[in-house]
Amino acid sequence: MSRRLSLLILTVVLSLVGPCLHPGGPAAVQAASHGTPAHAKRAPQGGVRAPAVAHDTITETTPLSASTPRNTAVLTGQTTLQLPSQVVSGGRLLIVVHTLPYARLTVTIAFPDGTSQVLQRRAGLGGYAMLAPVISYQPQAAAETATVTVLAVRARGSLNDSVMGNVTVVQRVRLSGYLTVPVGVAAGGQLSVVVTTNLPNVQVHLTLSYPDGQVESSDGATGATDTFAPAPFTIPASERMGYLMVRAVLRYNGAERTVARRVRLRAHR
C-alpha cells in the first residue's frame, strides 16, 4: 500500500514539474531530444506554434571556378568622350574624358596607316581627365580620319568601359611662293610674271593693278615644275608713270598665301 502511494505521488510530481523543464510541451521535449538549438523560437500565444528556425541561416552558393576572377569588372556605360571635329597635323588634340573618380585610362589614337599613339592617365576626383597630345601624323591626302579609343578601368567599383570617337586629321600645308618680275617696265611694253611655289598643283589667282585703279587678272595653277607663267600683260601706252602692283593668291588643300611685288612703270618712249 505504501509502495503504490509512493508511485502515485511521483507520477503527480513529474506531471507538474515536466512542463517547467520543457516549456514547449511534449513536442518540445521531442525536439530537444533531436538537438534543436536552445535559442529556437517559442510558440506564440494562442496555441499556434512558429517553426523553429535558427538565426544564423546559411545560404548555399555555387563556388567560383579556379579560372574565374573574383573582381570581375562589367561594362557600366559610365564613361564619356569629347573630341573636336578636326585637328591639324602637328597641332594638339584636346581629349576630354569623364568617368568614375580615379579610374585608370588608356587612350589609343589609331591612324589610317596602322600607326598609333597610346597615352596613360588617371581620372581625377571628379572623374574628369584632359589630354592634349601632339598629333605628329601627316595625312597622305588633304584630310584623313583617326579613331580615338578610351579604356576606363577601376577594380573597385567594377568599371571596365570602352568608348570610341573619330577625329579628322587635316594635312598641315606649309605653302610658300614668290614672284619673278622685272624691276620696271615702260608703258606700251609687256610685263612677264612667273609664279613659283614650293608645292605642285597650286591654284594661282594673279592680278595686276595700275596706278589709276584698273585691274587685270589671270588664273591658273602650277604644274609639276611648281611654276605658273601666264601670257605677258600688255601695258597700255597711255598709262602714266607710277608703280604696278602684281599680286598672286596661292591656294592648296585649304591653305592660302598671298605674295606681291611692285614694278616701276616708266613713261612711253
Q: Do residue 192 and residue 254 come from a single domain? A: yes
| Structural domain contains residue 29 | yes
Q: Do residue 127 and residue 106 come from a single domain? A: yes
Domain count, the chain: 3
Q: Do residue 204 and residue 234 come from a single domain? A: yes
pLDDT digits (tens, 9 = 90+) for 185-210: 999 999 999 999 998 899 999 999 99
Domain end residue (candidates: 170, 192, 221): 170
Report pLDDT for 18.
54
Report pLDDT for 239.
84
Higher pLDDT, 202 or 140: 202
Q: What is the DSSP letter of 81?
A: E
**Amino acid identity of 120?**
Q
Share of the chain above pLDDT 70, in %: 71
Higher pLDDT, 258 or 63: 258
Domain end residue (candidates: 127, 144, 170): 170
Report pLDDT for 174.
83
Q: What is the mean pLDDT of residues 152-175?
A: 88
Q: Do residue 165 and residue 204 come from a single domain? A: no
Q: State if pTM tops 0.75.
A: no
Q: Do residue 194 and residue 166 come from a single domain? A: no
pLDDT confidence band for 28 (50 / 70 / 90): very low
Domain end residue (candidates: 170, 189, 207): 170
| Structural domain contains residue 67 | no
For the cut 80, the answer to whether the pLDDT of residue 261 exceeds it is: yes
Q: Do residue 159 and residue 184 come from a single domain? A: no
- Residues present in the chain in total: 269
Among 269, 268, 166, 249, CA closest to 208 = 249
SS3 for 256?
Answer: strand
pLDDT confidence band for 246 (50 / 70 / 90): very high
Q: Residue 94: give the domain boundaries.
A: 80-170
Angle, CA 50 vertex, CA 49 and CA 56 arms, to 5°: 145
pLDDT confidence band for 240 (50 / 70 / 90): confident
Strand 143-154 and strand 227-228: pairing?
unpaired
Farthest-apart Cα atoms in the chain, separation: 175
Q: What is the mean pLDDT of residues 158-170?
A: 91
Report pLDDT for 77.
78
Q: Do residue 120 and residue 184 come from a single domain? A: no
Q: Do residue 93 and residue 151 come from a single domain? A: yes
pLDDT digits (tens, 9 = 90+) for 30-80: 434 444 444 444 444 444 444 443 333 332 322 333 333 333 334 567 899
Q: Which residue has the cell 612677264?
A: 192
Report pLDDT for 25.
47
For the cut 80, the answer to whether the pLDDT of residue 26 exceeds it is: no
Residue 124 is part of a domain; what is its CATH number?
2.60.40.2550
Q: Do residue 130 and residue 150 come from a single domain? A: yes
Q: How confident is the prediction for the chain on average, in pLDDT?
A: 78
